Amino acid sequence: MSKRKQIGLLLLLATIAVAAISCSVASNKEPFFGKTVPPEQNIFRYVTGDEPESLDPVVSTGQPEARIYMALYDGLVEYHPKTMEPEPALAERWEANNDSSEFKFYLRHNGRWSNGDPINVHDFIYSLRRIVDKKTASRNAYLAYYIKYAQAYNEQKVFVRDPQTNQFLNAKDFDESTPPEPFGGSPLDAGKPEYTSKIDQAEHDTDFHTKLHTPLRLTLPGDEKARTKLLNADPKLKAAVTGKDLVPVQAEDIGVSAIDDYTLRISLVQPAPFFTGLLAHQSFRLVPKNVIEKYGSAWTQPQNIVTCGPFKVKTWRPYDKLVVERDPMYWDAATVKLDEIHFYPMSDNPTIMNLYKVGEIDAVLNHTVPNAWLEVVRTKQDYMDGAEAAINFLQINVTQPPMNDVRVRKAFNYAIDKDAWAKWRKIVKPLTAFTPEGIFQGYPQPKGDKFNPEEGRRLLGEAGYPVVKKADGSYSCPKFPVDQIEYIYNTQESNKAMAEWMQAQWKQNLGITVSLRNMEWKTFLNTRAKLEYKGFARGAWGADYMDPFTFLSLFYTGGESGTGWIDPKYVAMLDEANRMLDPKKRYELLARAEKYLLDAQPMIPIDTAAINWVKKPYVKGMYPNAGSLYPWKYVYIERDPAKWDYGIPSLTAD
């Protein structure tokens, strides 16, 4: 082919491409993205994400599965469809003692399993014990650690008992950092009674109740090696333990008890005002004891499974379709509007959006609209925009120079124009703090350092890396050891865009070029967790429950944050806040801790994530809430176009 013909062919191909694009642009005037014909049957078709790991609610930690579990299982409480606050589910109502360290749940009497069996308090006791049973090996077990002795049971620890007196040793006698007893010992809040029980006197007399209201017992590792090591390091403890009985912590020891068949009491190891909100989490949902004991791990197979939610499993073909149908046994079956929900397991965003456009699915999961499509899709009336209870940030490995110098960390933070980033990314909100902005009502969120390249350059200079202005107006930082830092992220288009954007900011404002390194997901997680990176790593976190603590607790223990930053003072501040009875004061103390964290800068906040999904206008009762979790019983298909959603449904509670 001659040069000329080649050019001709290229031109032809270009014309075809332009024609194809203009076709899609031509459809831009449509109010919605793609077809808006409701499904013929009363069925809702949804993509919740990749193939679910399991239908067992304690297995998966993911949000995609959480949405499936919400269809299949009920808990004590359920998320409110708009506010995400806990609302009554299998518990009709509940009460807390005045420091939120003990809760009483009154169960409804008409709860039933999908096989018709009644639900009572013993089902909950089984389910709560199962989460922290070591044999279950649940990745979510840590969420239940607030329950008294749950962590000790999960970690197979032992109590220490004096054979002579039959008394157990108490934790506070050996460890000064043990928080004051929530309902024993010293008063928690001056002037207030520490614990007023509304429980009858007779209940106090049970063995269990007596046990739970004694001071926190000392627990030691069950593993002999670990125990010996601990005892050798602490002579006082060793002397006290020698000659005593070691009693393994049993399932029966954890702080869940039945007051009667329909009243459940949960005792916590610390005050946790957010605990009822946490109970809506997937792992606290009710699972059937008999079925699990009969079938083992095969209990979730469609032929065996028994559930307790608004829907039950009809058919399940992995990587193809999970069909759930309305469960007539459900206590609130009258509210359930859909006949079936079809969950399509998919993970490729363009593929999902294609299905949505042609009208084969009615809604998609959050974060599905690709960046390049936003320009078009977000102008449509079926685009769901809103802040998510999730943040994006950069983690910093603070264990190695030069990033072990807080001035250097601050300089890198100052050099990022987050407003410009948010504008470029279109849907996210700039963030200077470590909790998402505008999510927690009444939380006095502290403000971190704003974009200030001048200050950043000054700090770098102070740390011994002067930034010089070159003749052409650009900056350079010749002394900075650029080979000692990098930016790692897991391979994904949006992560790459973010990495390059940050890289450009630092180059422009500090004259430092940080090298980028992308990795496969699991490799990335491994590298970050083991601090095998230098400099920066992409980080993101979504709320487990609607409280700032779900974010602030990432730095509660050093290992989980992936930064190597751990500060006892920060931990103490969080503990102090959580012991506070007055929610307003607690928020203030949490905010103070957050400010402390921001000042230490073991991470750089970037943005509050956006929910970024689409739903057909005829899908009603599904709200763009901050957790992207939807109680399915309220969702329905509206066939009258006059009643459709033209725009984003309001999140203001009715």
Please report, as ranges, the residues that interact with another protein according to CB under 8 A: 20, 23-24, 35, 50-51, 53-54, 56, 59, 61, 134-135, 137-139, 141-142, 151, 154-155, 296-301, 317-320, 344, 346, 348, 350-351, 354-355, 357-358, 360, 520-523, 525-527, 529, 539-541, 554, 557, 559-560, 562
CA dist., res. 169 & res. 12, Å (int):
84
Closest distance of CB 228 from another protein, Å: 18
Closest to another protein by CB, 59 vs 502, is: 59
Closest to another protein by CB, 61 vs 404, is: 61
Closest distance of CB 58 from another protein, Å: 10
Cβ atoms 328, 115 nearer than 8 A = no
Q: Which residues of 35-64 are buried (b: 16+ CB within 10 A; e: fewer)?
A: ebebbeeebbbbbbbeebeebbbbbbbbbb
Closest to another protein by CB, 27 vs 196, is: 27
Closest to another protein by CB, 68 vs 89, is: 68
Only one residue has tokens 């230098």, namely 534
Which stretches does DSSP call E strand in 365-453?
Answer: 383-384, 387-396, 429-430
Closest to another protein by CB, 21 vs 572, is: 21
Closest to another protein by CB, 296 vs 568, is: 296
Closest distance of CB 527 from another protein, Å: 7
Closest distance of CB 534 from another protein, Å: 17
Closest distance of CB 628 from another protein, Å: 15
Beta bridge partners, 162, equal none
| Cα distances (angstroms) measured from residue 618 to each of 486, 561, 580, 631, 632 | 48, 42, 45, 17, 15
Name the burial class of residue 454, with classes exposed (0-12), middle (13-18) and buried (19+) by CB atoms within 10 angstroms of its CB.
exposed
| Identity of the residue numbered 349 | N
Closest to another protein by CB, 96 vs 398, is: 398
Closest distance of CB 498 from another protein, Å: 16
| Identity of the residue numbered 635 | V
Closest distance of CB 623 from another protein, Å: 25
Closest distance of CB 548 from another protein, Å: 16
Closest distance of CB 332 from another protein, Å: 29
Closest to another protein by CB, 132 vs 387, is: 132
H helix or E strand, kind and range, residue 577: helix 568-579
Alpha-helical regions (H) of 358-492: 374-377, 406-414, 418-425, 453-462
Cβ atoms 350, 369 nearer than 8 A = no
Closest to another protein by CB, 358 vs 420, is: 358
For the chain, state the CA radius of gyration: 28
Closest distance of CB 298 from another protein, Å: 5
CA dist., res. 171 & res. 148, Å (int):
13
- Phi and psi of 383, rounded to 5°? -85, 130
CA dist., res. 55 & res. 459, Å (int):
52
CA dist., res. 154 & res. 266, Å (int):
17
H helix or E strand, kind and range, residue 594: helix 583-600
Closest to another protein by CB, 408 vs 543, is: 543
Q: Torsion angle of alpha carbons 277, 281, 286, 287, nearest 10°?
A: -160
Closest to another protein by CB, 350 vs 401, is: 350
Closest distance of CB 240 from another protein, Å: 24
H helix or E strand, kind and range, residue 266: strand 263-267
- Phi and psi of 613, rounded to 5°? -145, 175
